[in-house]
Amino acid sequence: MARRLNTCDASFAQDFENLLFAKREVEEDVAAGARAIIADVRKRGDAALVELTNKYDHAGVTVETLRLTADEIGASVTQVTAERLGAIETAATRIEAYHRRQLPAGERFTDETGAELGWRWTSVDSVGLYVPGGTAAYPSSVLMNAIPAKVAGVKRIVIVTPATGGKINPLVLAAARRGGVSEIYRIGGAQAVAALAYGTATIAPVDKIVGPGNAWVAAAKREVFGQVGIDSIAGPSEILVIADNQNDPEWIAADLLSQAEHDASSQSILITDDAAFADKVAAAAQRQIAILPRQEIAAKSWGDYGGIIVVDRLAEAAALSDRFAPEHLELAVADPEGLLALVRHAGAIFLGRHTPEAMGDYIAGPNHVLPTSRTARFSSGLSVLDFMKRTTILSLPPKAMAQLGPEAIALAEAEGLEAHARSISARLNRKE
């Protein structure tokens, strides 16, 4: 059963801190092992990839079969039902339309000195997308990572995914093909991250690595950062629902469990101003857990890390939510826009009683790759901008140099950088 808190209780401040900072991740010291794997791949290349892949994934690959052929992908996609292919198409179309609106514009302008300034945006050349394998299949994550990269203008999008037992889920391949992925490799783990970062004879290196993975993948991404860019190191999933008593408690319970079923370390929080409604949601959650296929996971998540907080007024909920800075925030209240104005920190916000977070996971359009573990206080979800970089532009005519140069020289000399000062003064002495 989830923990119950009430802002009127004398112990609320401490109880809230305990809930807020509950340790949800088991620390797994795999950094040294990941470093060893990365070094091995850098040294032995494809041979290390094949050996490690067959050892950990029992994939039965050779150097020649590391990369899936177009025929293999096509044959696998034929196994996907028309209904699911249609759902992938609808999701992809909506995700693409949403992310096209994020494309930034460059600008050039001339200021009062005659200096021309500006910036332009260009995409990175190549991106590697890590897709978890095993029993999990997340075609939605493929779309959410690949499509923004494609919209940004990335020319080469590569997927690495463990072919556990030699198999890759056909849905993942269907999403990859629709998302514009150009290469797919049967590799996973730290060795896949190493191959993307440093390259082998078979796999050319990329400029940025995105996508979720286990502790080994996370450790490897930390190790290669700087050689390549990375998106983030994601923690367990989270949802916080602010709801009044006009909601159906069964709906709210389902929303909370939609994240609890992800992982035993996930966290689901309800904030409401009605204790009786809180009781109804808690009872509904227990009923629903009993019939979930992933009931063991959901029960542990809800029991260990779930919380129900009763407040005097819903306006208080915004400040409490900001302390959590949740990955997902639902505002299931009569005036969601009014409450939205009070909230500052959340990865994604879902407004109104008929907007469950689960729609955002799949088909609505906004990206579902979001900051976790309170990092929404300072970071944002995945977007087109994660696959682009901004370059500044400056052009100075003699008039602008004459006006601005002397003060630039004064600053250079103050910093003791004589060559900087000479670089500027040389142009001031030129006769045009």
Q: What is the pLDDT of residue 33?
A: 94
Active site residue 262: no
On whether both 195 and 333 belong to a single domain, the answer is no
- DSSP-assigned beta bridge partners for residue 212: none
Q: What is the pLDDT of residue 431?
A: 52
Cα 14–17–22 angle (5° rounding)? 125
Mean pLDDT of 2-13: 93
On whether both 51 and 172 belong to a single domain, the answer is yes
On whether both 35 and 21 belong to a single domain, the answer is no
Residue 181: which CATH number? 3.40.50.1980
pLDDT in tens, 193-250: 999 999 999 999 999 999 988 889 999 999 999 999 999 888 889 999 999 999 999 9
On whether both 222 and 128 belong to a single domain, the answer is yes
Active site residue 51: no
* Catalytic residue (choose from 223, 261, 327, 330): 327
Is pTM beyond 0.85? Reply is yes
Q: What is the pLDDT of residue 397?
A: 96
Mean pLDDT of 267-286: 98
Tell me if 310 sits within 8 A of 273, measured CB to CB. yes
Residue 200 in any domain: the answer is yes
Which of 180, 211, 230 is the endpoint of a domain? 230
Question: Measuring CA to CA, how many Å separate 232 from each of 77, 134, 303?
Answer: 30, 22, 28
Q: What is the pLDDT of residue 286?
A: 97
pLDDT in tens, 359-384: 999 999 999 999 999 999 999 999 99
Closest CA to 251 of 335, 179, 163, 354: 354
Q: What is the pLDDT of residue 214?
A: 86
> How many CA atoms does the CB half-sphere of 93 hold within 13 Å?
6
Residue 74 in any domain: the answer is yes
Q: How many CB atoms are closer than 10 A to CB 159?
A: 26
Mean pLDDT of 60-80: 95
* Catalytic residue (choose from 99, 262, 328, 345): 328
Residue 116 in any domain: the answer is no
User: Coil, strand or helix: which one is 15?
Assistant: helix
Mean pLDDT of 109-114: 97
Domain range for 300? 3-25+235-364
Tell me if 336 sits within 8 A of 242, measured CB to CB. no
Residue 385 in any domain: the answer is no
**Percent of the chain scored above 90 by pLDDT?**
90
pLDDT in tens, 253-269: 999 999 999 999 999 99
Q: Which helix (H) or strand (E) holds 169?
A: none
**Percent of the chain scored above 70 by pLDDT?**
98
Residue 35 in any domain: the answer is yes
In whole angstroms, how large is the CA radius of gyration of the chain? 26
pLDDT at 395 > cutoff 50? yes
Whole-angstrom distance, CA of residue 369 vs CA of residue 211: 8
All residues at 6 or more sequence positions from 120 whose CB lies less than 8 Å from its CB, including other chains: 106, 390, 391, 393
On whether both 179 and 328 belong to a single domain, the answer is no
> How many domains are there within the chain?
3
Residue 117 in any domain: the answer is no
pLDDT in tens, 127-166: 999 998 865 678 999 999 999 999 999 999 999 999 988 8
Question: Running DSSP on this structure, what letter comes out for residue 350?
Answer: E
Which of 230, 257, 292 is the endpoint of a domain? 230
On whether both 245 and 268 belong to a single domain, the answer is yes
On whether both 136 and 273 belong to a single domain, the answer is no
Whole-angstrom distance, CA of residue 316 vs CA of residue 339: 10
On whether both 220 and 274 belong to a single domain, the answer is no
Which of 342, 364, 386 is the endpoint of a domain? 364
On whether both 18 and 36 belong to a single domain, the answer is no
Helix axes 46-57, 31-44, angle to 10 degrees: 140
Residue 318 in any domain: the answer is yes
Instruction: Give the chain's mean pLDDT.
Output: 95
On whether both 83 and 217 belong to a single domain, the answer is yes
Q: What is the pLDDT of residue 184?
A: 97
Q: Is beta strand 388-395 parallel, antiparallel or unpaired with respect to 116-123?
A: antiparallel
Average the pLDDT over each of 25-39, 189-203, 241-255, 320-334 and give the range with the smallest value: 25-39
Using the Cα atoms of residue 90, residue 133, residue 236 and residue 30 in order, give the sign of their dihedral.
Answer: negative
Confidence of residue 430 (pLDDT cuts 50, 70, 90): low
Q: Is beta strand 107-110 parallel, antiparallel or unpaired with respect to 328-332?
A: unpaired
On whether both 222 and 340 belong to a single domain, the answer is no
On whether both 152 and 288 belong to a single domain, the answer is no
pLDDT at 432 > cutoff 50? no
Residue 108 in any domain: the answer is no
